[in-house]
Structure 1
Amino acid sequence: MSAREAQGSGTRVIMFMGKGGVGKTTVAAASAILAAESGQRVVVTSTDPAHSLGDVLGRRIGSVPVQVTPGCHAQQLNGRDRLEESWAEVGGWVRRAFGWAGLDDLEAQELMLLPGLEELFALAEVTSLVDSGRFDTVIVDCAPTAETLRLLTLPEVLGFYLDRFEQQRPLRRAVSETVRRLGDLPIADAQIAGATRRLADELSGVRRLLSADTTSVRLVMTPERVVIAETRRTHTALGLHGYATDAVVVNRLLPEHVSDDFTARWRSAQLERLDEVREGFGGVDTLIAEMSPIEPIGAGTLAEMARVLYDGREPTAVLGTSQPMSVVTGADGPELHLPLPNADRGEVDVWAGDGEIHLTVGAHRRNLLLPDALHGRSVVGASLSDGTLVIRFDADVDAERDDGDA
């Protein structure tokens, strides 16, 4: 299973996500340094292609973790080596197939690297940090929100297609000789199938690690209406894909004692937004970082920032609760409960069939395999209430109806 048996060891993973420019990297670095002060072995690692973690820490870092303070290491992830190792055989076959189709080698090499693959395999390096046993806590400074959401869904989506690839092997063997007679199209042989299986297993390991009980997301935002709205959508998307959020961080709140009317009015507007955050992210803790008169760079300044931010809380504790998908017994039959915090009813669409639930929430989509307890049952209705999607199933197995809509 890897990733220390899906975190059976209890290794803590905390992922800091947020819109570009909200101070996500600074908050992640500060959290790591404060956690190390309590005696934990901590590494803060960045998948953000902006490579700003070293700038925040005030020192040069690379792809190998280096100690920045006692107990705290830092690393700037680069997924290219892992990508080339894991994708080499499959990518080589794809390149040959593109060449057969008439593309020159340079074009084929460009097309075979699917968008996001390099970043995804940078994220896969987090499993290596957990497996190493060197650290009690792994803190991840993620790429900006939209890109990270895409990366978090890639293991599941690619795993889905790789599984289908495996299931079609007998058919491919049957037709391969016929295809060869028609031309020299490269056929995916057993070696490619084995490489595909290893790739699928690696992606599954990422998925298990990031959805484990000891992994949680912290959403960083500034107290601005547009940023808060995007963060709420992110919160919903994370719930859709089964990722737990345990805290939101409101960064760069203007300090209480301000000297002029303009700044005082600005702070007043920020406080109104802060109330919206506290009301709109139920079940998770709200952490507040005031704007500093000096730029928070270097271990000492970051540690002080973190002490104010956490205000006596342990940075690596689970700071809030997020309910997982569950099956419960309803009045008329079994129900599947799926948390969708901040989702609007008009954005939710549900369809069931072939042992799967197909969900759409705004621009985000997910296919869920039904738990064994619900196999053979039909959806009879769905509703969204208090941030939880409730999908109701017929009490009898193999009922006639086979779909539902919310």
Structure 2
Amino acid sequence: MRILLFTGKGGVGKTTLAAATAARIAASGRKALVVSTDPAHSLADAFGTVLGAEPSEVDTSLYAAHVDARSLVDRSWPELRDQLRGVFAGAGLDELDAEELTVLPGVDELLALSEVARLAESGPWEVVVVDCGPTAETLRLLALPEAIAGYLDRVFGSARGMLASAQVRSAAKSISTLATHLAGLREVLTDPAMTSVRLVLTPERLVVAETRRTLAALALRGVHVDALIANRLVPKARLWQGPAASWLRTRRSEQDTVLSELDASTPLSVHVVEHRAVEPIGSRALIDLADELYAGIDPLDGLRRPGVPLLSVQADGDDYLLTVALPLLDGCDLDLVRVGDDLAVTVDGVRRLVALPLMLRRYTVIDAEADGAGLVLRFAPGQEERP
């Protein structure tokens, strides 16, 4: 099974392109499910039909659904929350403290992601296309399995000395089950053979700048991006005359310049879609749009690129070079800190602890620089850190 995540800055057309991709895949005879986790729920508008929380067939081999995160929270979270509250109350914490400790940040987004995984496993689909929320929400969504797993580990650690009552044992079992589920989600998201992201943008400098920052943030999370899609290019005026034609030529020239700069700064394929006079609604119009987008290339295999590991090590004389594969913007806010056996990498406010390869854990970083491959750190094997 393949999972394709579509995201981008709000208003760039990611929902339409996600729906078009799913429609094109289904038209080729493969069963496809397209799911929206975007609270705006505009996926139904793209197909011109009504969608619910469970998949419904909108065309031959094509199914669609909306994930209602709020409803999932109301159904799924209260039981575990009550169990955790009982654990902390039993530890002598007052009611207010117990309540605060059981506020799980991002639980609605987490349950939405879990629901996508459930839907993916529950049907006959060969491909699941996910219409994610805007970029910032998607980055938070993809970071949740790791972040919440850490939170639960701290919460569970606080309760280890209280494992006596049946209530506590039940809560511990629930936490363990949730932690295992989170690890499974993380594995799915970071498996490039299964999951990849397609970033949708419009050819404007501000949008492209956000897209490039998103590329670095996704790489830091270990999430694979297989393509960039530039939407709403102004059609070429060709032989047209008059003020409107002059405006179109000027605008298209500006867009082409922006895309040329983007193409030169990333090894990813940049696919383009021209702005249409009529909004594509319904399967037929969406398939026509996908035919322009993919231009005869299979939407699955034609864009597939091998995943690049976040970390790679090579010997350089007596030293070792550790490459952290991050596409970095000029002037980005970058910070590196060694924290025990981990490397804390922060890029433009996005931070992740990356476990160092075992062979480097006893050695010291003596130099760091950025190049086209990302960050390159030099370790001196003769300068061992004392345990």
- Taking structure 2 as the reference length, what is the TM-score of the superposition? 0.88
Q: How does 1:104-119 map to 2 (within 5 A)?
A: 114-119=104-109
Percent identity over paired residues: 39
CA displacement at 1:363 relative to structure 2: 1.0
After the TM superposition, which residues 281-360 of structure 1 pair with which residues of structure 2 at under 5 Å, given as runs? 282-317=266-301, 318-331=303-316, 332-344=318-330, 347-360=333-346
Cα 1:55–1:154 change in 2 (3 A) is same
Q: What CA distance in whole angstroms lies between the structure 2 residues aligned with 1:90 and 1:360?
A: 33
Structure 1 unaligned residues grouped into runs of 5+: 1-10, 178-186
CA distance 1:389–1:104, change in 2 (3 Å):
closer
TM-score by length of 1: 0.84
Q: Does 1:173 align with 2:159?
A: no
Secondary structure class of the residue paired with 1:49: coil
Indicate conservation of the 8 Å contact 1:345/1:384, yes or no. Answer: no
User: Match for residue 393 of structure 1?
Assistant: 379
Aligned counterpart, 1:248: 228
Whole-angstrom distance in 1 between the partners of 2:331 and 2:205:
21
CA shift for structure 1 position 136? 0.8
Query: Is 2:205 the partner of 1:221?
Result: no
Q: CA RMSD in A?
A: 2.9
Quickly say closer, same or farther: Cα 1:132–1:336, change in 2 above 3 A.
farther
Work out whether residues 362 and 385 of structure 2, in 8 Å CA contact, stay in contact via their aligned partners in 1.
no
Deviations 1:351-394 (A, max 9, x none): 12322111111111001223334343433332211141123334
Q: Does residue 170 of structure 2 align to residue 191 of structure 1?
A: yes
Quote how far apart the aligned CAs of 1:74 are: 0.6
CA separation of 1:321/1:272 partners in 2, compared to 1, >3 Å: closer, same or farther? farther
Please state if 1:207 is matched with 2:191: no
Q: Note if contact 1:86-1:199 (Cα within 8 Å) is conserved in structure 2.
A: no
Equivalent in the alignment of 1:157: 147
Closer, same or farther: CA 61–346 of 1 in aligned 2, 3 Å: closer
Matches within 5 A, 1:22-33: 22-33=12-23
| SS of residue matched to 1:330 | strand
| Structure 1 match to 2:112 | 122
For 1:380, the aligned partner's letter is: I
Deviation digits for residues 75-124 of structure 1 (CA, Å, limit 9, x no counterpart): 1112345545653343124556699746599xx69x95545321221111
Indicate the residue corresponding to 2:211 in structure 1: 231
Which deviates further from its counterpart, 153-162 or 224-233? 153-162
The whole-number CA distance in structure 2 between the counterparts of 1:308 and 1:383 is 41
Distance 2:77 2:322 in 1: 37
Q: Distance in 2 between matches of 1:86 and 1:392?
A: 47
Q: How many residues align?
A: 376
**Alignment pair present for 1:75 and 2:50:** no
Alpha-carbon distance, 1:28 to partner? 0.2
1:52 aligns with 2:42: yes
The change in CA–CA distance for 1:194 and 1:374 in structure 2 (over 3 A counts) is: farther
Is the 1:127–1:205 Cα contact (8 Å) retained in structure 2?
A: no
Flag the 1:81–1:334 CA change in 2: closer, same or farther, 3 A. farther
Who is 1:3 aligned against?
Answer: none
Q: Unpaired segments of 5 or more residues in structure 2?
A: none
Alpha-carbon distance in 2 for matches of 1:223, 1:401: 51
Q: Which has the higher mean CA deviation after the structures are superposed, 335-344 or 85-94? A: 85-94
For 1:204, give the aligned amino acid: A
- Given candidates 260, 263, 268, the residue that maps to 1:278 is 263
Partner of 1:135: 125
Residue identity matched to 1:247 = A
1:138, distance to aligned residue in structure 2 (A) = 0.7
